[in-house]
Chains A and B, each alone.
Chain A
Amino acid sequence: MDPQLVEVSQQFERFKAAFVRKDYDTCSNLLSQLKVSLTKFRSLPPLFENTPNANNELLLAREIYEHAVVLSVKIEDQDAFERDFFQLKPYYTDAGNRLPPSPQEYPILGLNLLRLLVQNRIAEFHTELELLSATALEDRCIKHAVELEQSFMEGAYNRVLSARQTAPHETYVYFMDLLAKTMLLFSSDQELLEYIKDEHPEWEVKNGSVYFQKAKESAPCKEIPSLQLINQTLSYARELERIV
């Protein structure tokens, strides 16, 4: 065994121990050290050099990044999630044929889909979806995210809410909670009052109920949009003159 590899794996063991203890501060510290040491391996992306230990190194690095992704969910840091996920992705796509499949792969991919959904990045959501194979789409975790998106598009919000109970993985709960928040699902009256004060001061609260301002009736426009019509007609005349 390569001494460097041994050192990193020992450090990773310490990280995992801290992770189980839920000591997330230590985890974050250890993780940044781990990431620095990973840069010394030449077999990892983007170099992909074929060193004698390549497979072991790749496996270790993949596991470290998988933990990093999960950790970022635990400490509720979406930016870190995105960074770590993109670092992890090449291990699934480019090194996938060299390594045995990871049991964490589908849960993490599903988690990423969920994140894109929560952040309302639907175009990226679909781009990611195209990369998944038919077997991946059958997976419980990924199906969960895909069905959620469908319910969203249809407007079946009650299904979105009930999906929280059926979350396939403990890490999914964080994003599901974020979803619930965007749908104004509050756990207490107090939260609702705060929300109204911050976001919609024009709403009135009287006798325990909320009064919405009626949207101003848009008066039916009986007028002819003359300026626009003149512009259009003039442009037709100009174009026609060019043709004749």
Chain B
Amino acid sequence: MTQDVEMKEQAAPSNSLTSSSPSTLHHLKEIASLIETGAYAREVRRILRAVRLTMALRKKLKPSVLSAFINFALTPGSEAHTRLSSYLPKEDEHEMEVDTATSASQAPAKHSLPELEIYCYLLVLIFLIDQKKYNEAKACSSASIARLKNLNRRTVDVLAARLYYYYSLCYELTGDLAEIRGNLLALHRIATLRHDELGQETLLNLLLRNYLHYNLYDQAEKLRSKAPRFEAHSNQQFCRYLFYLGKIRTIQLEYTDAKECLLQAARKAPVAALGFRVQCNKWAIIVRLLLGEIPERTVFMQKGMEKALRPYFELTNAVRIGDLELFRSVAEKFSSTFSSDRTHNLIVRLRHNVIRTGLRNISISYSRISLVDVAKKLRLDSVADAESIVAKAIRDGAIDATLDHANGSMLSKETGDIYSTNEPQMAFNSRIAFCLNMHNEAVRALRFPPNSHKEKESAEKRRERQQQEQELAKHIAEEDDDEF
């Protein structure tokens, strides 16, 4: 559950990057002007870009830069200005004053856009979280959320979605997630009423995360099934949604659906989001084991995951062999890992699969075997246990055999030639369907620039557009790296 938190804390030590503060401030000012044009032209796209650019600057944020920027962007003396300044440590009075003087002269009162105000909140909040000042961050985020409730502008939505995320994050870091549940629900309602789909998506994920943090699977599923669904706006949010959905499905024993969700989440997640992918893989492995599949060795050998997946590798091994004793010892050996991953209860469910695999192995190797031997091989307590377990396995179709009650033995039937049945054709069909579906989804996901078909653009315009597109592509790649 804490994968993205972990990622952030790993990123924190590299804070020592020395950068000249004027250039950071300069960048921030550029971003501010981008937001301004975006707000005036009502172009959500520009604001999205501004947020992306900000993430690149994240590690360079310093109190002095921030307070200079706040002085630049907000009217000194306004409510937001005083509040935000109070969160920042005053370290270099002198430099700050100089900045205030220059920016105040350049910046008349025109900077009172709500987008800019919210953006300042976001900047300060990110800074506080990176500095691990969680209590200040909580106060700051609550203030920003209160302000957001009174704003109804489409151009704010993008910034708001980010603020929600950090709001929940700082409460999670202090372990008070339960406190904000009511607030998140209210925000989700507001976002729904305002048709703010990105906000809804983000808030739904935060709520699911909130519920799952306390293992409230029932509530999570009820909310999820009743919340409005629409096409995903952000890949990251969609990944998270799939992961949470996969977890819920696993708990509710819908393994086939769960497997699909978890594998898709792991595939869609950006390469840099290692913690998230590890988590997805852990759950996917267990679900596949519960389904009676044995994950391939390559799953465990993915780059950077070998160590984290080691307990699950040994577990898979025990299931594959069908050795109850080995299974028990593995479960015991890594019990702390499993309980911190919250997969302990799932592993208890696996015991049944271990017995099944063991039984299947026996039924393949012997055409006739006494139940006493079955009990001994599976290390079951009694022959009566063995008899009823074999009976259930036959009934469920796990093994093809008959029981001879009078002689106390199990008779396996000869396995037929699978290639004389429709089985291979069916398997082939499902693979073809998968590939075709993948292709169709890829086509559907293609995006085209608006108005491209209407007018022939001039050479200059085209050059400009191409440059922008390149920039966009670069930023998307970067965003994938640092968002998780």
**Residues on A facing B (Cβ under 8 Å):** 122-124, 126-127, 129-131, 134, 146, 150, 153-159, 225, 229, 232, 236, 239, 242-243
B391 at interface by CB-CB < 8 Å: yes
Q: Pick the contact of A150 from B352, B382, B425 — CB < 8 Å?
A: B352
Which candidate, B120-128, B131-139, B213-221, is the interface stretch facing chain A? B213-221
Q: Pick the contact of B422 from A156, A225, A243 — CB < 8 Å?
A: A225
Closest A residue to B342 by CB, please name it: A130
Given contacts A129-B345, A130-B217, contact A154 B355 (CB under 8 A): yes
* B385, A156: Cβ atoms closer than 8 Å: yes
Q: A131-B215, A154-B392 are in contact. List 5 more A-B contacts (CB 8 A).
A: A153-B349, A154-B355, A155-B390, A236-B436, A239-B440
* A126, B345: Cβ atoms closer than 8 Å: yes
* A127, B218: Cβ atoms closer than 8 Å: yes
Task: Give Cα A59 to B200, complex, Å.
Answer: 39
Q: How far is the CB of B229 from chain A (nearest CB, A)?
A: 21
* A123, B352: Cβ atoms closer than 8 Å: no
List B contacts of A129 (CB < 8 A). 345
Given contacts A155-B391, A158-B384, contact A123 B215 (CB under 8 A): no
Tell me the interface secondary structure of chain A in the complex: helix
Task: Give Cα A159 to B386, complex, Å.
Answer: 11
* B388, A127: Cβ atoms closer than 8 Å: no
Residues of B in contact, count (CB < 8 Å)? 33
* B388, A122: Cβ atoms closer than 8 Å: no
**Residues on B facing A (Cβ under 8 Å):** 215-218, 251-254, 339, 342, 345, 348-349, 351-352, 355, 382, 384-385, 388-393, 395, 422, 425, 429, 432, 436, 439-440
Q: How far is the CB of B426 from chain A (nearest CB, A)?
A: 10
Closest A residue to B354 by CB, please name it: A154
Task: Give Cα A157 to B382, complex, Å.
Answer: 12
Closest A residue to B425 by CB, please name it: A229
List A contacts of B253 (CB < 8 A). 122-123, 126
Q: How far is the CB of A138 from chain B (nearest CB, A)?
A: 13
Task: Give Cα A90 to B299, complex, Å.
Answer: 42
* B389, A130: Cβ atoms closer than 8 Å: no
Closest A residue to B346 by CB, please name it: A126
Closest B residue to A125 by CB, please name it: B253
Tell me the interface secondary structure of chain B in the complex: helix
Closest B residue to A238 by CB, please name it: B436
* B429, A239: Cβ atoms closer than 8 Å: no
Q: How far is the CB of A227 from chain B (nearest CB, A)?
A: 13
Q: Pick the contact of B385 from A153, A159, A243 — CB < 8 Å?
A: A159
Given contacts A131-B215, A131-B216, A225-B422, contact A155 B439 (CB under 8 A): no
Q: Pick the contact of A155 from B349, B389, B425, B436 — CB < 8 Å?
A: B389
List A contacts of B391 (CB < 8 A). 155
Given contacts A153-B349, A232-B429, contact A243 B439 (CB under 8 A): yes
Closest A residue to B218 by CB, please name it: A127
List B contacts of A126 (CB < 8 A). 251-253, 345, 349
* A156, B216: Cβ atoms closer than 8 Å: no
* A158, B251: Cβ atoms closer than 8 Å: no
Q: Pick the contact of B389 from A131, A156, A229 — CB < 8 Å?
A: A156
Task: Give Cα A243 to B439, complex, Å.
Answer: 8
Task: Give Cα A134 to B423, complex, Å.
Answer: 44
Task: Give Cα A126 to B247, complex, Å.
Answer: 12
Q: Can you spell out 24 A-B residue pairs with CB atoms less than 8 angstroms apart?
A: A123-B252, A123-B253, A126-B252, A127-B217, A127-B218, A127-B251, A127-B252, A146-B348, A150-B351, A150-B352, A153-B349, A153-B352, A154-B352, A154-B355, A154-B389, A154-B392, A155-B388, A155-B390, A158-B385, A158-B388, A225-B422, A229-B425, A239-B440, A242-B440
Q: How far is the CB of A5 from chain B (nearest CB, A)?
A: 28
Task: Give Cα A220 to B348, complex, Å.
Answer: 39
Question: Nearest 3 pairs between A and B by C-beta?
Answer: A155-B392, A123-B252, A130-B215
List B contacts of A150 (CB < 8 A). 348, 351-352
Task: Give Cα A158 to B386, complex, Å.
Answer: 10
Q: How far is the CB of A236 from chain B (nearest CB, A)?
A: 7
Task: Give Cα A150 to B385, complex, Å.
Answer: 13
Q: Pick the contact of A239 from B339, B351, B436 — CB < 8 Å?
A: B436
Task: Give Cα A242 to B442, complex, Å.
Answer: 13
Task: Give Cα A243 to B339, complex, Å.
Answer: 47
Task: Give Cα A2 to B425, complex, Å.
Answer: 76
List A contacts of B425 (CB < 8 A). 229
Q: How far is the CB of B467 from chain A (nearest CB, A)?
A: 32
Closest B residue to A128 by CB, please name it: B218
Task: Give Cα A11 to B1, complex, Å.
Answer: 47
Given contacts A126-B252, A127-B217, A155-B391, contact A236 B432 (CB under 8 A): yes
* B215, A156: Cβ atoms closer than 8 Å: no
Task: Give Cα A236 to B215, complex, Å.
Answer: 44
Task: Give Cα A186 to B253, complex, Å.
Answer: 31
Task: Give Cα A225 to B426, complex, Å.
Answer: 11
Closest A residue to B432 by CB, please name it: A236
List A contacts of B384 (CB < 8 A). 158
Task: Give Cα A243 to B437, complex, Å.
Answer: 12
List B contacts of A124 (CB < 8 A). 218
